[in-house]
Amino acid sequence: MTTVFISHNHKDNIYIQQIKSIRQNPNHPLTFEDRSLAEAICNEHGHTNRRPPSDIRSEPVRKAIAKLLAGSHKLLVLVGKDTHSRLWVEWEIEQFKKHNSDNNILVMRTPDNTYSGAPKGVQRLELYAWDLNRIALWVS
């Protein structure tokens, strides 16, 4: 089964839930193993790391995500209204591209985004409108 890492701004979690719920429908062709980070990585105080990837204190998060990306066949980049400025999304794209080609990356707008552009690293790739069937075809 194809493994997919979904890179996104956490403000767009509702769309991640849509993708995950449609995968549970046996009548829909969208099937893949989700390699995305299941839960936030917390610091020693139990707080979610909100530091940029360049911060030394983000090393545990970088290691966990890098391992997931290295084991992923494909990268789905969801582009919401603010994704273009998300340092973590840019970092994830960069890390994925160390092991994979652009052919394994799908860049797709969230349904509420009709104007924002793609983040650095995938700007020259086609930016598709929201379409779960397109994701299913791309994964297969």
pLDDT of residue 100: 95
**pTM recorded for the entire structure:** 0.91
Highest mean pLDDT out of 25-29, 38-42, 111-115: 111-115
Helices (H), 71-131: 87-97
139 phi and psi angles, rounded to 5 deg? -70, -35
Domain ranges in the chain are: 3-139
What pLDDT shows up at residue 53? 92
Determine which helix (DSSP H) or strand (DSSP E) holds 6, and give its type and residue range: strand 3-7
Contact yes or no for 23/31 (Cβ under 8 A): yes
- Per the CB < 8 A criterion, the answer to whether 75 and 98 are in contact is no
Residue 44: pLDDT band (50, 70, 90) is confident
**CATH number, domain 3-139, options 3.40.50, 2.60.34, 2.40.30, 3.30.2010:** 3.40.50
Strand 74-79 vs strand 127-128: parallel, antiparallel, or unpaired? unpaired
Model pLDDT for residues 86-124, shown as the tens digit of each residue: 999 999 999 999 999 999 999 999 999 999 999 999 999
* Torsion, Cα of 4, 38, 52, 94 (10° steps): -10
